[in-house]
Amino acid sequence: MRGYAMQKDDYRNRLRRIEGQVRGLQRMIDEDEYCVDVLTQIVSVTKALQGVGLGLLDEHLRHCVREAAESSRIEGDAKVTEAVQAVERLLKV
Amino acid sequence: MRGYAMQKDDYRNRLRRIEGQVRGLQRMIDEDEYCVDVLTQIVSVTKALQGVGLGLLDEHLRHCVREAAESSRIEGDAKVTEAVQAVERLLKV
Amino acid sequence: MRGYAMQKDDYRNRLRRIEGQVRGLQRMIDEDEYCVDVLTQIVSVTKALQGVGLGLLDEHLRHCVREAAESSRIEGDAKVTEAVQAVERLLKV
Amino acid sequence: MRGYAMQKDDYRNRLRRIEGQVRGLQRMIDEDEYCVDVLTQIVSVTKALQGVGLGLLDEHLRHCVREAAESSRIEGDAKVTEAVQAVERLLKV
């Protein structure tokens, strides 16, 4: 069971909405909308994606990292390292 | 005519691929994949979106801002202000 | 003459303030302040630096890129490419 | 005792180097260096600051959050929430 198991529906809905926003971007390009307006919409989709990412990070720390830490110090440490590397990749986007 | 007009097909293809990646994220959630793997995939979708955003910014500066600058100093200045504000929103994501 | 020439004093003051904030961070570490408070302060210094970066980008587009564009299409294009690459590096931080 | 206690010297050295880089930025402005070169240097200082931030986050998760989690579920949860909010602020820079 993953940390996000209890919120699967929420994540599914958010991702479905993001999928719709990406289709909206394609429509904006098709209809020759103004570059800056398309950029503004890209910022909004990216924010929605980051929101999903932060949610997953939250659950990961709250569940997976904690469980690993409860089983052994070494496993807990490995999970923390992995989580920080994930944050680093998020920051580098 | 927008700055990105000549590359519409390229933008459409990139956005269609991003749409597929977002559907892939939904599948990952459905199939209970590991949180960190989902996060890694979110980073990759976000990078692809930023790539589209940078492309649009490039065309915007190369075409819309230049045309405005050629028509008058005031219009050129207004377009630069608008472009920098767009970059600021991109940075704040 | 650089695009930022007329605002040199402003940039100097902002950077002097940032230097003081970085010294403040060293003090926080010396005095064992709480990690999350140090992180919050790091965010605030980073924001101040990005503000300087956006200011320079604004002047760069408003002056250097425009002058290059006025001298020739090729030089203007080269400056836009360079500016977009700078934005890309800012985004990747 | 803070999570970063054992690495205080390392953090101090990194911040002292960052302070020197910020002074270097002031010199670049004084000497009218090219805007894009100043921007590139700003990116490098920002990266160094983010590196310190990620290091602090790592220690925070490894020590403070763990200790809180060992003392009670409620305290552990509160620390995770706080850590994720810190990551969110880092991302929004």
pLDDT > 90 fraction of chain D, expressed in percent and rounded? 78
Residue B61 to chain C, least CA–CA distance (Å): 7
Q: State whether residue C17 sits within 8 Å of chain D by CB.
A: no
Q: State whether residue B64 sits within 8 Å of chain C by CB.
A: no
Question: Residue D1: pLDDT above 70?
Answer: no
| d(C-alpha C38, C-alpha D5), whole Å | 13
* Residue D42: predicted pLDDT: 97
* Residue D77: predicted pLDDT: 92
Amino acid present at D69? A
**Among all residues of chain C, which has the CA nearest to that of D81?**
C36
Question: Residue C1: pLDDT above 70?
Answer: no
pLDDT > 70 fraction of chain A, expressed in percent and rounded? 99
- Tokens standing for residue B73: 């100093």
Write the DSSP assignment of chain A as a string of letters: --TTGGGHHHHHHHHHHHHHHHHHHHHHHHTT--HHHHHHHHHHHHHHHHHHHHHHHHHIIIIIIHHHHHH-HHHHHHHHHHHHHHHHHHHH-
Question: Residue D92: pLDDT above 90?
Answer: no
Residue bearing the bigger pLDDT, A4 or D56: D56
* Residue B22: predicted pLDDT: 98
- How far from each other are the two terminal CA atoms of chain D, in whole angstroms? 29
**Among all residues of chain B, which has the CA nearest to that of A60?**
B35
* Residue B2: predicted pLDDT: 78
Average pLDDT over residues A54-82: 91
- Helix axis angle for A35-59 and D73-91, nearest 10°, is 160
Question: Residue C38: pLDDT above 70?
Answer: yes
The structure tokens 């160094």 sit at D48
Tens of pLDDT, residue by residue over C62-82, are 999 988 988 898 999 999 999
Q: What pLDDT band is residue B6 in, cutting at 50, 70 and 90?
A: confident
Tens of pLDDT, residue by residue over B19-71, are 999 999 999 999 999 999 999 999 999 999 999 999 999 999 999 998 898 88
Q: State whether residue D93 sits within 8 Å of chain B by CB.
A: yes
| d(C-alpha B33, C-alpha B44), whole Å | 16
Question: Residue D91: pLDDT above 90?
Answer: no
Write the DSSP assignment of B28-91 as a string of letters: HHHTT--HHHHHHHHHHHHHHHHHHHHHHHHHIIIIIIHHHHHH-HHHHHHHHHHHHHHHHHHH
Average pLDDT over residues A70-78: 90
Contact A48, A21 (CB under 8 A): yes
* Residue D18: predicted pLDDT: 98
| C-beta atoms surrounding A39 within 10 Å | 23
CB contact under 8 A, C56 and D35: yes
Average pLDDT across chain A, whole number: 93
ipTM: 0.92
Q: What pLDDT band is residue D2 in, cutting at 50, 70 and 90?
A: confident
Question: Residue C5: pLDDT above 90?
Answer: no
Instruction: Please give the domain boundaries of chain A with CATH numbers for all domains.
Output: 5-91 (1.20.58.1000)
Average pLDDT over residues C15-33: 97
| CB neighbour list of residue A26: distance below 8 Å, 6 or more residues apart | B12, B15, B16, B19
Question: Residue A16: pLDDT above 90?
Answer: yes
Average pLDDT over residues A7-25: 97
Question: Residue B1: pLDDT above 80?
Answer: no
Tens of pLDDT, residue by residue over C39-54, are 999 999 999 999 999 9
Please list, residue by residue across B8-28, b when 16 or more beta carbons sit within 10 angstroms of its beta carbon and e when fewer do.
Answer: eeebeebbeebbebbeebbeb
The most distant pair of C-alpha atoms in chain C lies apart, rounded to whole Å, by 57
* CB-neighbour burial class of residue C59 (10 A; exposed 0-12, middle 13-18, buried 19+): buried
Q: State whether residue B63 sits within 8 Å of chain C by CB.
A: no
Please list, residue by residue across B42-68, b when 16 or more beta carbons sit within 10 angstroms of its beta carbon and e when fewer do.
Answer: bbbbbebbbebbbbbbbbbbbbbbbeb
CB contact under 8 A, B54 and C80: no
Verdict on whether the full-model pTM lies above 0.80:
yes
**Among all residues of chain C, which has the CA nearest to that of B68?**
C66
